[in-house]
């Protein structure tokens, strides 16, 4: 673990990341010694920092550390966390900020390759996401809703869970974004009220935009998937994973596997 670029194995309990979840993070896939989609990760981090009002200017050091660890690891996962640091009275933020950044290295999840090849089944989580437009889209450190999604997921059954908001509109899966195709048009949940705007989601949006057939971002209930011809989930680590079944609806996965080859 690197904290502000230095090897350390502990973090102060006074840090606001520990006290309040006051910060943001991103997870980066490392392939052949290169961090994938870093510009998209960077753009989302910048947006998150701006929304939270965290003054951060150590990007050169962060980039050097990411490149160094990626080169050593070759194939792995890098997690970058940026905290506001210490200080402030209770929730009140400090007048002078001293943000800190943490970089950790992890192995790639082994099951993602199988998911890519065989597809997954989706269930519906009993946990609903609160609507908070100010935080929607960013990957902040407050992830209790996602923890509950995982906690309440059945041990045997669907590989991932579809998560709706309190208005029963689809938002995302437990740790992935969602896309579906109906009558030749591609759709994805609108994330103005809740959810994380994933890096791979952005990559997919740019792909379809470049082909002149932009994805339609909508508020839609889960029943919309029962009319779909193709469905997939995605994030920066798993890439693009076909959905083969949702309830009684079944979907062919070959189209999604071909799409993944085009985009990735």
Q: Is 250 a catalytic residue?
A: no
Locus of tokens 């437009």:
133
The contacts of residue 68 (CB under 8 Å, 6+ apart) are none
H-run or E-run covering 237: none
Residue from 36, 172, 188, 244 carrying the catalytic annotation: 172
Known catalytic residue at 27: yes
The answer to whether residue 139 is catalytic is yes
Q: Are 242 and 253 in contact (CB under 8 A)?
A: yes
Q: What is the DSSP string of 100-135?
A: EEEEEEEPPPTTHHHHHHH-EEEEEEEEEEPP-TTT
CB 116 within 8 A of CB 257: yes
Cα 80 from Cα 68, distance rounded (Å): 14
Q: State the catalytic residue, choosing from 27, 29, 36, 188.
A: 27
Q: Left if phi > 0, otherwise alpha if psi is -120 to 50, otherwise beta: which for 248?
A: alpha
Among candidate residues 26, 139, 159, 188, the one labeled active-site is: 139
The distance from CA 224 to its chain's CA centroid, rounded to whole angstroms, is 22
Nearest to 77 by CA among 117, 25, 39, 121: 25
Q: How far apart are CA 185 and CA 205, in angstroms?
A: 13
| Distance, CA of 77 to CA of 250 (rounded, Å) | 32
Catalytically active residues are: 27, 139, 172
């Amino acid at each position: 673990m690197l904290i502000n670029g230095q090897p350390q194995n502990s973090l102060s309990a006074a840090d606001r990341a520990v006290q309040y979840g006051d910060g943001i993070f991103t997870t980066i896939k490392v392939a052949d010694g290169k961090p994938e989609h870093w510009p998209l990760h960077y753009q989302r981090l910048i947006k998150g920092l701006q929304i939270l009002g965290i003054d951060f200017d150590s990007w050169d050091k962060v980039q050097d550390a990411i490149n160094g660890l990626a080169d050593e690891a070759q194939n792995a996962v890098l997690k970058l966390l940026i905290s506001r640091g210490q200080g402030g009275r209770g929730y009140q933020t400090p007048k002078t900020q001293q943000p800190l950044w943490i970089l950790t290295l992890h192995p790639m999840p082994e099951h993602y390759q199988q998911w890519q090849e065989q597809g997954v089944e989706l269930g519906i989580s009993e946990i609903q996401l609160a609507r908070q437009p100010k935080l929607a889209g960013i990957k902040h450190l407050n992830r209790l809703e996602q923890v509950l999604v995982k906690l309440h997921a059945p041990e045997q059954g669907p590989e991932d869970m579809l998560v709706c908001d309190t208005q029963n509109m689809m938002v995302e899966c437990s740790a992935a974004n969602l896309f579906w195709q109906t009558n030749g048009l591609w759709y994805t949940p609108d994330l103005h009220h809740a959810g994380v705007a994933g890096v791979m989601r952005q990559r997919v949006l740019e792909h379809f935009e470049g082909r002149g057939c932009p994805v339609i971002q909508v508020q839609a209930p889960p029943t919309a998937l029962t009319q779909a011809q193709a469905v997939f989930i995605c994030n920066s680590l798993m890439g693009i994973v076909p959905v083969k079944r949702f309830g009684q609806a079944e979907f062919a996965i070959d189209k999604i596997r071909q799409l993944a080859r085009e985009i990735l």
